[in-house]
Amino acid sequence: MERLSIGELARATGVKPTTIRWYEQEGWLPPPSRTGGGHRSYGEAHLRRLGFIRHARELGFDSQAIRALLDLAEHPGADCGAAHALAIAQIAAIDARMRRLAALRAELARMAESCAGGVIGDCRVIETLADFGHGHCSDPGHGTQAGR
């Protein structure tokens, strides 16, 4: 493979150059070689690793999990139990987020359905939003830490 500039690597992976530089700074990408003019020059390993990071981000893994997965990927002969555990934890986080979103959607639908139009002074949506104590909400827990 020919060497890639940061712009070419960005286009090939869909990751912005500033993000690529940040990944380098954080140690997620190894330092690239430099051209005679001092420009970054990336190879196949950078392309694969950056693609790995981007895919992990798309799947919602947080920075700590991605760092752990990158470390695991460096040991292809090791047991994959830790990778499996990270995937299971991510599934649980997604499930929790989906439950929260479903509750928020139901609350918004209830608010919208109770709004018959008319003037803002009688608007149920505005009235419910103004009640930051959640007294008008069918699920007052959506505004608490437990509901997040």
Q: How confident is the model over 57-78, as pLDDT tens digits?
A: 999 999 999 999 999 999 999 9
Residue 61 φ/ψ, nearest 5 degrees: -65, 140
pTM of the complete model: 0.75
Distances, alpha carbon 52 to alpha carbons 7, 64, 74, 81, 95, in Å: 18, 14, 12, 19, 23
Residue 100 φ/ψ, nearest 5 degrees: -65, -45
What are the pLDDT digits (tens) for 116-140?
777 888 787 888 888 777 666 666 6
How many C-alpha atoms does 56 have within 13 Å on its Cβ side? 21
Q: Which of 22-36, 39-53, 95-109, 122-136 has the lowest mean pLDDT?
A: 122-136
Residue 35 φ/ψ, nearest 5 degrees: -80, 175
